[in-house]
């Protein structure tokens, strides 16, 4: 076995698996943001040639997958399995998006933590010898997500300042046993953490306790402190959730304020882009990881990163029935090699 | 490594993992059906002490998990990971259901194929040494599913004869490296198969091509024929889908009519229970596997079974936007040992 359990919730991998290539596809607003020049593909119409937001999101997933596969000089038939998910009911963006690739598929749902779940399962599968090349993909789309969780765009509802802006984007990651400059050295699988919050317009607050739980567990399982990571990068806590996370971690006797970054804060310019508490969605962490984080690890600028996408486990039905919004976060350790 | 890839889409395990225990929880109609006496728990109110169908489904998942864990003489903290999913938007039955167990969790979505996906991933994780005991759970509920995919129960819409009856039930399975009388010897992960069908009231027809694809792939990958299985048990094709599957398999030059069973046909009495084309839902295959199939394998009455849950990948949004309903099926090989 090339891998082993570590502590209560983690797995540690020796040498492989490697993160071989990735692809990022985004919409107009993301293209206009601080990371705009780094994305692989931008569609200024947000439609990606399709008639519905859902079909547009599916096409983004397909394009991101083809991008990651193509960068590695491979074809879809070279990929053994795909792990994918999105935010829409019954994961239709993934089902419709990856259908054309005809790769045996595991459908996932972990809300905005799905990119962590998909990367973890891809790494676990490659390390176990279940495939030489496995693809992880997630996406979100502002139009489809607003319609799913809040209101259709045409309703033009007003957004509170705690609300986040769902990223229109998809990121795909090719994980394999072929040497690259980035290896996945471990994962920490999160538990569901529920502080009883019920505000669907304040996802950052709902997810921050789960992020804290997973980060602290990662430290315990691997015997590390924040200083042993160049950065600890959460998925989409945004401005509100980040403050809560840093406070919660301090209460546990740790301080990660020097290392912490959040994709929801990185992807938009808060002053000029009117995105309130920052970016969110499955596509936020995935596209930021692909376009911004991975190149820095590959170049050796960052040696070890803890990537922690966070998810708010809710649906319109659970929300309307008065249920709270529990959170979950999965952590993936990425290292330069 | 205790495991290896097999053919294009399959994995073959040596010796472990074992299926250690399972739990089945169902509602009134399932309790009145042909398998009624075999289920672990029946609630004649279908409410499981809760006020909403969604909360009832969550409670079923929790009870099924506790049943499987309890039968093995264990506690939730003895379980390393849980793989779970359901049919509801954003998988809320699982999220809310397993929250109380506080087991690190992977959320899945594969429509009614989810029990196969969860069992496959649990087996893969145990075989790779990622945990000694891993839980797989899925569920469906007639009330929550009708509301999600068709109409709320109070609307009392008329059901066409091709429609299936969503099973109110949850099945949980404990997979581990501790010897039992049932081992998981292999899995075949399905691709998305789309024949372009668009009828959400005829799920069997939408899923049958995927079942055919996965069964034939399993035969190819393992070099087997139908005769090498005591039974090939699909999840919930029902009466309409079963006929289509047998025809499609024949067109591929194979005949599985002597071995084939379908959980959607087994769980209700078609003459007396007015369930039209049979049972369906994530809970159909899971509860039938737990209550009816596993005891026969454990007793040695059946030596080798191919369990093939099938899923229809749709949502109300994709359906209303005119998209087709692609299918997916995952196969799990279960053997007496």
Number of H helices, E strands in chain B: 11, 17
Q: CA-CA distances (angstroms) from residue B135 to A190, B83, B120, B173, B257?
A: 15, 6, 11, 6, 32
Which stretches in chain A have pLDDT values below 50?
1-2
Position A1 scores a pLDDT of 41
Classify each residue of A292-320 as buried b or exposed e, where b means 16 or more C-beta atoms within 10 Å of its C-beta.
bbbeebbeeebeebbbbbbbbbbbebbbe
What ipTM, to 2 d.p.? 0.97
> Which DSSP state fits B189?
P
Yes or no: domain A5-176 corresponds to CATH 3.30.450.40:
no
Q: Does the model's pTM come out above 0.95? A: yes
Task: Give chain A's radius of gyration (CA, Å).
Answer: 18
Q: Domain limits of chain B?
A: 5-176, 184-336
Q: Closest CB to B315: pick one of A90, A99, A111.
A: A90
Position B3 scores a pLDDT of 57
| B113/B13 Cα distance (integer angstroms) | 21
Residues of B in Cβ contact (< 8 Å) with A1: 1-2, 128-129
Contact B113, B283 (CB under 8 A): no
Position B150 scores a pLDDT of 87
Position A152 scores a pLDDT of 86
**pLDDT digits over B51-86, tens only?**
999 999 999 999 999 999 999 999 999 999 999 999
Cis peptide before A61 (omega within 30 of 0): no
Position B1 scores a pLDDT of 41
Count Cβ atoms within 10 A of the Cβ of residue B158 and give its class: 0-12 exposed, 13-18 middle, 19 or more buried. Answer: exposed
One pLDDT digit (tens) per residue for chain B, 337 residues? 445 899 999 999 988 899 999 999 999 999 999 999 999 999 999 999 999 999 999 999 999 999 999 999 999 999 999 999 999 999 999 999 999 999 999 999 999 999 999 999 999 999 999 999 999 999 999 999 999 998 888 888 888 999 999 999 999 999 999 999 999 999 999 999 999 999 888 999 999 999 999 999 999 999 999 999 999 999 999 999 999 999 999 999 999 999 999 999 999 999 999 999 999 999 999 999 999 999 999 999 999 999 999 999 999 999 899 999 999 999 999 999 9
Chain B nearest CA to A12, separation (Å): 9
Q: Closest CB to A90: pick one of B1, B109, B129.
A: B109
> What number of other Cβ atoms are within 10 A of residue B233's Cβ?
26
> What number of other Cβ atoms are within 10 A of residue B63's Cβ?
22
Q: What count of residues does chain B have? A: 337
| B246/B264 Cα distance (integer angstroms) | 15
Contact A87, A145 (CB under 8 A): yes
Question: Are the Cβ atoms of A130 and B124 closer than 8 angstroms?
Answer: yes
Chain B nearest CA to A20, separation (Å): 21
Contact B65, B23 (CB under 8 A): yes
Query: In CATH terms, are B5-176 and B184-336 the same topology?
Result: yes
- In chain B, % of residues over pLDDT 70: 99
- For chain A, what is the largest distance between any 2 Cα atoms, rounded to a whole number of angstroms? 55
Position A3 scores a pLDDT of 57
Q: Closest CB to B89: pick one of A106, A127, A315.
A: A315
| A130/A186 Cα distance (integer angstroms) | 17
Q: Kind of pairing, strands B331-336 and B304-308?
A: antiparallel
Chain B nearest CA to A271, separation (Å): 32
Yes or no: domain B184-336 corresponds to CATH 3.40.47.40:
yes
């Amino acid at each position: 076995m090339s891998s082993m359990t570590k502590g209560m919730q983690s797995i540690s991998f020796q040498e492989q698996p490697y993160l071989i290539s990735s692809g990022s596809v985004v919409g107009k607003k993301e293209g206009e943001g601080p990371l705009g020049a780094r994305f692989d593909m931008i569609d200024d119409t947000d439609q990606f040639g399709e008639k519905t937001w859902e079909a547009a999101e599916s096409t983004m997933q397909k394009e991101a997958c083809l991008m990651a596969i193509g960068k590695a000089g491979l074809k879809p038939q070279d990929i053994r399995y795909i792990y994918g998910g999105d935010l829409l009911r019954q994961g239709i963006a993934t089902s419709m998006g990856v259908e054309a690739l005809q790769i045996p598929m595991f459908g996932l749902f972990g809300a905005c933590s799905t990119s962590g779940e998909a990367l973890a399962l891809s790494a676990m599968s490659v390390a176990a010898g279940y495939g030489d090349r496995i693809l992880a993909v997630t996406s979100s789309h502002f139009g489809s997500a607003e319609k799913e969780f809040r209101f259709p765009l045409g309703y033009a509802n007003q957004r509170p300042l705690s609300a986040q802006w769902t990223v229109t984007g998809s990121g795909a990651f090719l994980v394999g046993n072929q040497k690259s400059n980035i290896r996945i050295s471990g994962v920490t699988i999160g538990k569901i953490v529920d502080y009883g919050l019920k505000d669907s317009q304040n996802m950052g607050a709902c997810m921050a306790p789960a992020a804290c739980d997973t980060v602290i567990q990662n430290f315990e399982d691997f015997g590390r402190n924040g200083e042993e990571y160049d950065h600890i990068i959460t998925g989409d806590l945004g401005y509100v959730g980040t403050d809560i996370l840093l406070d919660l971690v301090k209460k546990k006797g740790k301080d990660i304020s020097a290392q912490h970054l959040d994709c929801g804060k990185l992807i938009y310019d808060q002053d000029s882009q009117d995105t309130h508490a920052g970016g969110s969605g499955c596509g936020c962490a995935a596209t930021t990881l692909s376009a911004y984080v991975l190149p820095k690890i590959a170049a050796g600028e960052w040696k070890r990163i803890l990537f922690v996408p966070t998810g708010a486990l809710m649906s319109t039905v659970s929300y309307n029935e008065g249920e709270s919004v529990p959170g979950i976060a999965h952590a993936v350790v990425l290292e330069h090699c």
